[in-house]
Amino acid sequence: MSILSLQEDRPTPKCVYNYRVYSCAAVAAFCAVMIGYDSAFIGGSIALDSFKTEFNWAQYSAEESDLISENIVSSYQAGAFFGAFFAYAAGHYLGRKKGLQVFSAIFILGAGLMLGANGQRGLGILYAGRALAGVGVGGASNLTPIYISELAPPAIRGRLVGLYEMGWQIGGVVGFWINYGVSTTMAPSREQWLIPFAIQLIPAGLMFIGLFFIRESPRWLMSRGQRTKALKNLCWIRKLDTNDVYMLEEVSAIDAALEHQSSTVGLGFWQPFKALANDRKVSYRFFLGCSLFFWQNTSGINAINYYSPTVFKSIGITGTNTSLFTTGIFGIVKALVTIVWLFFLIDNLGRRNLLMFGAFGGALCLYYVGAYIKIADPSHHPTANITSGGISAMAFFYLWTIFYTPSWNGTPWVYNSEMFPQNVRTLGQAFAAASNWLFNFLVARFTAQMFTAMGYGVYFFFASLMLCSIVFVFFLLPETKGVPLESMDRLFSKDLKPRHAHKIVMIELREDEEQFRHNVEGSGIGLEKEEMGEKAAHLEETV
């Protein structure tokens, strides 16, 4: 099997891998462009002299300045934390598509509020706008991976959900270079720092408009009793008719999963909470989902994203423009490596291997950077030009980027989008996304103070946690590549060790598929099933 080959759970018609499923995924993934752009531009924008002059930064002490910077950055994460939970209700009642439209509109409103900030009004309207925009991206960060995973054929699910990560990196590259552009080509003015804030509206507007042209998730429609519309959407997405054996298998699996969930836990709004409390396999997956984002955020990525000028200054890079240029290169490296991850790694090497290899290599790189800062102490022994030791530290920093990006940057989002059963998927993703934004908030809130208090120790701290994550993945995380959503429960059986579960389940799936096709041949089975009733969706709330 070559690195470009796909691991299919069953024979799959080539037309299933079509432009429609990629287009739907790409439109939904625009929310990640919004997130990536913010993580890239905000630290550089509030470091501009024009921003500091606008809001009279000179009146603050160093400690007050750190605190205000952290508040501006972290108010966004605080809003996103709550937005992730609001998305559970939106995803359950409105669906994936309409829910995304609502949250993209909320983001647009928040971004518009930020543009009203100035020295006379103070920072209050900026805080409010960032918190509201955070609610928008928090909700979208919950629904987008779910929507894409529910559309995706198993063999390319990692790649399609990975478009979310690709969008994040595209937004990051634009954000980094917009900051560099306004810093080097514009005189200090209100427009200089306001333009980066205004550009947020572009990806949000494109996403809002694009959502009118994509289809709702067939799996969500099936769970709400809208079977006819679900089959129509699924046939359109797969480019197959209802009598194709691939469609028969997929719909039969969805039916079986929904019937099982309806007869056990139920499909109502409150039923996932009962499953979380009573079903060990479900609660274990909630634990895994939240833990993955803990390990992701304690790798140091968001400390670097939000406070890149501070990070590069600690290595010995001086000057705002030089720091922004170096940060822009960092963004390009991440984007290029993400392309490799998207098309060559995630659906071939799998989730477990990527996470473990990335953590090991990344930890070694951070240990080197921390050791250089400890020995050379560039903050107390500055030089006109970066030293050869500083250049080597920068090389290891970029090498850390190459290890981290195709492993911990996007893989936790892929994993969380696929491991939950249909009836708890939105709630599970809500908890996972909220945990991401909680840990993101904590990192954004305290990073500036950590660099002041710990210096080189910050790099040792993050490196040590990356090594700890390897143990977590090896013993607790089963591989999920190529496994259909409706078969994920098998991976988490208490009878299977996580590191061996994938191999066993894939063998079982191939045996089941052969038996299914044998039974279907000549049987005349089709997808015509008595309509469950469009109004039944309202009755399930009482289950």
Q: In this structure, which amino acid lies at residue 519?
A: N
Helices and strands: H and E segment counts in the chain: 25, 0
Q: How far apart are CA 110 and CA 309, in angstroms?
A: 26
What residue type is assigned to position 495 of the chain?
Answer: D
Q: What integer is the mean pLDDT of 335-344?
A: 88
Q: What is the mean pLDDT of residues 15-39?
A: 93
What is the H or E stretch that residue 284 is in?
A: helix 280-297
Please give the average per-residue pLDDT across 8-27, as a whole number.
88
Q: Please, which residues have CB within 8 angstroms of residue 204's CB and are 6 or more apart in sequence? A: 30, 34, 104, 107, 108, 111, 136
pLDDT given at position 333: 86
**Separation CA 477–CA 479 (nearest Å):** 7
CATH architecture of 215-267: Orthogonal Bundle (1.10)
Per residue, what are the HEC states of 309-378?
HHHHHHHCCCCHHHHHHHHHHHHHHHHHHHHHHHHHHCCCCCHHHHHHHHHHHHHHHHHHHHHHHHHHCC
For residues 355-360, average pLDDT:
96
Name the token pair of 286. 């909630």
Share of the chain above pLDDT 70, in %: 89
pLDDT value for 276: 85
CA–CA dist 203, 136 (Å, integer): 13
107-79-425-209 Cα dihedral, nearest 10 degrees: 0
Is it the case that residue 528 has pLDDT exceeding 70? no
Rounded Cα gap, residues 374 and 194, in angstroms = 38
What's the pLDDT score for residue 500?
Answer: 92
pLDDT tens per residue across span 36-48 = 898 888 888 888 8
Distance from CA of residue 378 to its chain's centroid? 35
Copy the structure tokens of residue 197: 């804030």
Q: Identify the CA nearest to 39 among candidates 159, 138, 175, 136.
A: 175
Q: Return the pLDDT at 362.
A: 94
Euclidean distance between the first and the last CA atom of the chain, given in angstroms as a whole number: 47
Q: Does residue 267 carry a pLDDT above 80?
A: no
Per-residue confidence at 494, pLDDT binned at 50, 70, 90? Answer: confident
**271-494: in CATH 2.40.10.120:** no
Q: Which residues pair with 119 in a beta bridge?
A: none
The yes or no reply on domain 19-212 and CATH 3.40.1050.10 is: no
- Which residues lie below 8 Å from residue 374, measured CB to CB, with a gap of 6+? 455, 456
Q: Is the pLDDT of residue 278 over 90?
A: no
pLDDT bucket at 2, cuts 50 / 70 / 90: very low
Judge whether residue 453 has pLDDT over 70: yes
pLDDT digits (tens, 9 = 90+) for 91-140: 999 999 999 999 999 999 999 999 999 888 889 999 999 999 999 999 99
Integer angstrom CA distances of residue 128 from 71, 74, 117, 426:
11, 12, 10, 27
* The predicted structure's pLDDT at residue 228: 93
Asked if 303 and 397 count as a contact pair (C-beta separation under 8 A), the reply is: no
Same fold for the pair 19-212 and 271-494: yes
pLDDT, one tens digit per residue, over 378-404 is: 766 666 677 788 888 888 888 998 999
Q: pLDDT value at position 6? A: 59
* pLDDT above 90: percentage of residues in the chain: 45
* Of 274, 234, 256, 543, the residue nearest 422 (C-alpha): 256
Local confidence band at 530 (pLDDT 50, 70, 90 cut-offs): very low
pLDDT at 367: 94
C-alpha span between 399 and 359 (Å, rounded):
12
> Can you tell me the distance from the alpha carbon of 283 to that of 278, in angstroms, rounded to the nearest whole number?
8
Question: In which band, very low, low, confident or very high, does the pLDDT at 3 lie, cut at 50, 70 and 90?
Answer: very low
pLDDT averaged over every residue in the chain: 86
Kindly indicate the confidence band of residue 532, based on its pLDDT and cuts at 50, 70 and 90.
Answer: very low
Mark out the alpha helices in 405-497 (DSSP H runs): 411-418, 425-454, 457-476, 488-491
Select, from the ranges 31-40, 163-172, 174-183, 355-364, the one with the highest average predicted confidence (pLDDT): 355-364
Backbone angles phi, psi at 47, to 5 degrees: -90, -10
Domain ranges of the chain: 19-212, 215-267, 271-494, 498-541
Q: Provide mean pLDDT across the span 491-496.
A: 87
Decide if pLDDT at 151 tops 50.
Answer: yes
| Cα–Cα separations (whole angstroms), residue 124 to 116, 118, 119 | 10, 10, 10
- Round to whole Å and give the CA distance between 408 and 355: 6
| 426 pLDDT tier (thresholds 50, 70, 90) | confident
In this structure, of 99-103, 323-327, 493-497, 524-528, the range with the lowest mean pLDDT score is: 524-528
d(CA 221, CA 442): 37
pLDDT of 8 reads: 66
The average pLDDT across 306-333 equals 69
